[in-house]
Amino acid sequence: MSGGDRLATSLGAAAARLARARRVVVYTGAGVSKESGISTFREPGEGIWARYDPMQLATAEAYARDPAFVWRWYMDRFGLIDQAAPNPGHHALAALERLVSLTIVTQNIDGLHQRAGSHDVIELHGSAHRYKCVGERHTGFTLADVSGSDEAPPRCPRCGDLIRPDVVWFGETLPAAALERALELASGCDVLIAVGTSGVVYPAALVPVTAHQAGAALIDVNPEPDAYADMADWFLQGPGGEVLPRLVDEVKRRRGV
C-alpha cells in the first residue's frame, strides 16, 4: 500500500471516530501556524531559537536587564504575526467546531484560531495581543490602551510599572486556570487531535497524554513523527493545512452535512 493510500485509509477511520464523538479537544503547536508564515520555535536550523538566544529575549531577567531591546524584538515579531492570515488548517478546525463540541488548546500566541472563527480557544502560552505590567498586578492591556506613551516599552497606566507582553517566558509557569481547564477537558474528551506540535514542551505536552491515559482516541497530524506518534490511534502524516481540510470534509460526508 502506498503512502497516499495509507493516509486515506487512516484518515477515513479517524473521521469515522470523529463523526460520532461527543467531546473533542484539539491541541495545536507552532507547526499549525508555520503554514501561515510564522516561524516555529524549535525546528532545527529554522526555528526562532536556532537563530536567537532565548535567554536574551524570553526571560524576565532579560527584560529587566534591557527592556528596550527585548520590547523592540517583540514588536517586530508581533508585527509579522499581525500580517499573517489563518491558513486552511485553521479554517478547517473552525468548521469542525460547527459539527462537534470542540475546544482548541493551543501553544500558539498568534490568535489565528480566533481569526479563523474558532470560539473556544485556550491559550496556554499567552497572547501576542495582550499585555500586562511586570508586577502582574494589572493585566489585559492592548497596545491601544497605552498608545499615547512615547516610551518604549510603555508604562502601566494604573501603577507606572513597565508593560510587557502577556506571554509565558522561560522560567515562568503556565497560566494556572488555562492549564487546569485544558487538562480537565482532556481527561473527559472522546477524541483528541494533536496538530503541528513536537510534544516535548512540558507541562503543555501533558494535554494529549492526559487524554490518551483517560481512554480518548488520539489523532496525530504532523509532517514528521513526533512524541505522540507511537501512542496515537491514527498518525496522519502531512501538514495540518493539507490533512485537516480532508479530515473535516470526510467527517461532513459521514454525518451527511
- Catalytic amino acids? 125
Report helix, strand or coil for 58: coil
Q: Which residues share a beta bridge with 103?
A: 25
Rounded to 5 degrees, φ, ψ at 36 are -95, 5
Q: Which residue has the cell 501538514?
A: 239
What is the C-alpha separation between 117 and 120, in angstroms, rounded? 10
Helix 240-255 × helix 3-19 angle, to 10°: 50
Helix 206-213 × helix 176-188 angle, to 10°: 30
Which of 75, 70, 29, 32 is CA-nearest to residue 170? 70
Other C-beta atoms closer than 10 Å to the C-beta of 252 total 16
Q: Are 88 and 112 in contact (CB under 8 A)?
A: no
Other C-beta atoms closer than 10 Å to the C-beta of 3 total 9
Q: Which residues share a beta bridge with 221?
A: 195, 236
What is the C-alpha separation between 122 and 136, in angstroms, rounded? 20
Q: Which three cell numbers stand for residue 142?
A: 492592548
What is the C-alpha separation between 6 and 9, in angstroms, rounded? 5
Which of 45, 67, 42 is CA-nearest to residue 56? 67
